[in-house]
């Protein structure tokens, strides 16, 4: 009995740790973190079910990567933009270059290895075809390098020796290896069918109040009661004990409910991106 109990507790701890890492790092590769990736693979069935049922997220676990595709939050939730290595947020131009790089890598006939010079040529050709004006200033080159470095961090691109790409010197003869199994999973869906930016982040269906509330508590720890609709408030009041149990079991979060709203916090301070209080 002791052995069985210990095994169950160990499995629960491992699954919770894997879930916590995926929340913070939705793209996880075996090369970057082999130990956590093995945990994700071991608990893949339970994690896929939990993320889908409780949060409406899709988890793909392949032989070399795991990709958690999250559903959009409402407009009152805080934004968490992509950041450069120095902590600066991506702006519109950096996102544009990231999209152009991904499009170039997905071009018909693209190989698993590509020279930076050939990639830049494809990016410029794609931009010109769609009427996007690209410059050759240091600022523009920085945005391009940021996009390449981000894809390296995500494990989509790898460079011989694992060295980063210099901002002020973009060597055209550097070969990059492309992970073509991971690349198509970066986006949650095809962009060519979207009618505009709002359609990309909009939820295609009206989801249950319980799922919307749980998602907000997990992704935006403090949820003001005034920001919740009547159905979500009812779930918070009626199912408070179940919410408390699930948040602890799934992610190790502690739920506190007050008159002003609800707070789901991590006692270890590892899961949240801002300290509290």
What's the pLDDT at 162? 54
- Answer whether residue 195 is part of any domain: no
Residue 75 within a domain:
no
Q: Are 254 and 260 in contact (CB under 8 A)?
A: no
- For residue 178, what pLDDT is reported? 93
Give CA 10 to chain center in angstroms: 26
| Residue 161 neighbours by CB under 8 Å, 6+ apart | none
Q: Name the residue with higher pLDDT: 135 or 167.
A: 135
In a domain, 253, yes or no: yes
Please, which pLDDT band fits residue 247 given cuts at 50, 70 and 90? very high
Q: Mean pLDDT, to the nearest integer, of 1-8?
A: 52
Is residue 200 packed enough to be buried (19+ CB in 10 Å), middle (13-18) or exposed (0-12)? middle
pTM for the model stands at 0.85
Same domain? For 97 and 179 the reply is yes
pLDDT at residue 110, rounded to an integer: 84
pLDDT band at 82 (very low <50, low <70, confident <90, very high): confident
Share of the chain above pLDDT 90, in %: 59
Highest mean pLDDT among 81-85, 97-101, 195-199, 205-209: 97-101
Share of the chain above pLDDT 70, in %: 83
The helix, strand and coil proportions of the chain, stated in percent and rounded to the nearest 5, come to: 50, 15, 40
Say what the pLDDT of residue 53 is: 95
How many folded domains does the chain comprise? 3
Tokens 């408070």 label which residue?
240
Question: What b-and-e string marks burial along 20-52, b requiring 16 or more CB atoms within 10 Å of the CB?
Answer: bbbbebbbbbbeebeebbebbeebbeebbebbe
Is residue 159 a part of any domain in this protein? yes
Residue 199, in any domain of the structure = no
Q: Give the model's pLDDT for residue 168.
A: 45
Question: What is the pLDDT confidence band of residue 87, given thresholds at 50, 70 and 90?
Answer: confident
């Amino acid at each position: 009995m002791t052995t069985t109990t210990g095994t169950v507790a160990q499995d629960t701890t491992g699954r919770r740790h894997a879930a916590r890492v995926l929340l913070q790092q939705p793209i996880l590769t075996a090369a970057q973190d082999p130990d956590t990736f093995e945990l994700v693979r071991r608990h893949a069935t339970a994690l896929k079910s939990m993320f889908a049922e409780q949060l409406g997220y899709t988890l793909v676990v392949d032989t070399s990567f795991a990709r958690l595709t999250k559903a959009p939050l409402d407009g009152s939730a805080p934004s968490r933009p992509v950041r450069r290595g120095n902590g600066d947020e991506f702006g519109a131009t950096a996102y544009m270059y990231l999209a152009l790089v991904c499009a170039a890598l997905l071009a018909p006939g693209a190989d698993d290895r590509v020279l930076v010079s050939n990639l830049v040529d494809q990016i410029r050709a794609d931009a010109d075809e769609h009427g996007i004006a690209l410059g050759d200033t240091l600022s523009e080159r920085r945005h391009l390098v940021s996009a390449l470095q981000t894809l390296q961090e995500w494990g989509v691109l790898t460079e011989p020796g694992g060295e980063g790409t210099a901002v002020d010197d973009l060597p055209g003869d550097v070969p990059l290896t492309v992970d073509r199994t991971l690349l198509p999973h970066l986006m949650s869906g095809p962009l060519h069918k979207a009618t505009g930016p709002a359609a990309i982040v909009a939820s295609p269906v009206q989801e249950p109040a319980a799922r919307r509330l749980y998602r907000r508590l997990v992704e935006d720890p403090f949820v003001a009661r005034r920001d919740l609709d009547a159905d979500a408030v009812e779930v918070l009041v009626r199912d408070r004990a179940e919410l408390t149990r699930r948040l602890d079991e799934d992610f190790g979060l502690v739920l506190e409910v007050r008159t002003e709203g609800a707070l789901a916090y991590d006692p270890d301070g590892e899961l949240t991106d801002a300290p509290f209080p």
